[in-house]
Structure 1
Amino acid sequence: MTYTGEVEVGGAADTQDAGDLQITKVAVGPMSNNAYLLRCNLTGEQALIDAANEADTLLALIGEGGLARVATTHRHQDHWDALAEVVDATGAETVAGERDVEGIPVATSHPVATGARMRVGSCELEIIEIVGHTPGSIALAYDDPDGIVHLFTGDSLFPGGVGKTWEPGDFDTLVDEVESKLFDRFGDDTHFYPGHGNDSTLGAERASIPAWRERGW
């Protein structure tokens, strides 16, 4: 079946191949968080983005292939609620933005900043810090050599706007970061995968940035 990225809690996962990287998306937990299982089609190595909730669901998705590492996009609890159980069951390494590790109650074996890389077998994802939703939020970019860029944005970017902010000035910081580090760098065909809800492309959202700035959220 054709990948849509439209998943719901309790429903089936959705899978697509992005060249050598297989991407499986599943929705879990009371806040309908997205978790993404990445599998290298050449080596079989697997990694997870956001062990958000429902450890049993995530472990069933991981299956017998094992898990090399888990990346947590930011420190909010709904994105790491199943992290301890998944790590205990798999022995996976943990990856998170260096400015958010103190807010994640599972030890981070690999604190990262912009320019770091996370490997999944022969595939490689670039770490991009996005300040605003939290101080240490990260996005992860996989540039398919034979296709498009696939961007995992956590709660920093959604279809229709940037993530929630709380302190004065944080919204301006977040929209500036998203525009300069994502929209100004990557093409319109870049497919992005947020922490909740459906996917989108940068091209579908780019023209709306001035409206996001004007409304202030």
Structure 2
Amino acid sequence: MLVVGFPAGAFHANCYLLAPGPGGGCVVVDPGQDALPGVADALREHRLTPAAVLATHGHVDHVHSAAELADAHRVPVWIRPEDRPLLSDPLKGLGPDLAGALGDLRLTEPARVAELGEGELELAGLRVEVLHTPGHTPGSAVFRLATEEGGQLALTGDTVFAGSVGRTDLPGGDPRELGTSLRRMMAALPDDTVLLPGHGGTSTVGREKATNPFLGGGTGPTGGTRGRS
């Protein structure tokens, strides 16, 4: 499996491209602010064509470029129905401080939107399992894929990071739901699953179980109302 990832925008949100290999279709996950140049470079370098755009959740740092990218390639944006309104009204998902900093931010919903359920999708030759993980936002999701080499990947958005978890103090956040989602996700994924989060570096399920204070690892808290981003 081909995986290309890079941070973009003021919030350094990670955008990922995944494909069975070079020279074919791919899915683009979380194309946020200023992600289009990096996406274009990856498409050209690996001779890829987007088949779909996937959103782990609807915060603007993860979907800012989703409509422009999807409409240019005439493909849908897949997102949970709970977060779909954020595609056209991004300030709805931000607190007053962040909304004030971003000013009059307006986006247009993509021409094609497909609502994510739970279960498997087959896109661009990839089998993607969707786990609904509310807490950071009501429509947060984790995307799980098995590689041909036998490994497993999970794109976690802002549900869990290396050493932290997503914040729950923005509109729609819920610390209890996040705790439930984290326990469910960690129980469902093998310890050697590689985690590709929405911000920061990669990790594994096993490492986070052992060291992430928000998951009971180390000596820190087992929960909280605010993690990262």
* TM-score above 0.5, yes or no: yes
| Separation of aligned partners in 2, 1:206 and 1:184 | 10
- After superposition, the CA RMSD in angstroms is 2.1
| Separation of aligned partners in 1, 2:172 and 2:116 | 26
1:12 corresponds to: none
More deviation, 39-48/126-135: 39-48
| 1:192 counterpart = 2:195 | yes
Equivalent residue letter for 1:62 = L
Change (3 A) 1:76 1:157: same
2:86 corresponds to: 103
Identity among equivalent positions (%) equals 27
Q: CA deviation at 1:50?
A: 0.6
Matches within 5 A, 1:18-97: 21-41=1-21, 44-54=24-34, 55-63=36-44, 64-97=47-80
| Separation of aligned partners in 1, 2:198 and 2:175 | 18
| Separation of aligned partners in 2, 1:61 and 1:214 | 37
Q: CA deviation at 1:110?
A: 1.4
Change (3 A) 1:65 1:212: same
**In 1, are the aligned partners of 2:175 and 2:224 still within 8 Å (CA)?**
no
2:103 corresponds to: none
More deviation, 154-163/90-99: 90-99
Deviations 1:195-215 (A, max 9, x none): 011010010010341234255
Change (3 A) 1:206 1:86: same
SS of the residue 1:68 aligns to: strand
**In 1, are the aligned partners of 2:136 and 2:174 still within 8 Å (CA)?**
yes
- So what's the TM-score if we normalise by structure 1? 0.82
| Separation of aligned partners in 2, 1:58 and 1:169 | 29
Equivalent residue letter for 1:117 = L
Q: CA deviation at 1:118?
A: 4.2
Q: CA deviation at 1:168?
A: 9.9
What runs of 5+ residues in structure 2 fail to find an aligned partner?
89-108
Q: How many residues align?
A: 195
2:102 corresponds to: none
Change (3 A) 1:117 1:165: same
1:177 corresponds to: 181
SS of the residue 1:87 aligns to: helix
Query: Which of 204, 219, 222 is the aligned partner of 1:213?
Result: 222
| 1:161 counterpart = 2:164 | yes
Q: CA deviation at 1:71?
A: 0.3
Q: CA deviation at 1:137?
A: 0.7
Q: CA deviation at 1:148?
A: 1.7
Higher helix share: 2
| Separation of aligned partners in 1, 2:4 and 2:199 | 14
SS of the residue 2:67 aligns to: helix
Change (3 A) 1:213 1:87: same
SS of the residue 1:117 aligns to: strand
| 1:115 counterpart = 2:119 | yes
| Separation of aligned partners in 2, 1:171 and 1:37 | 30
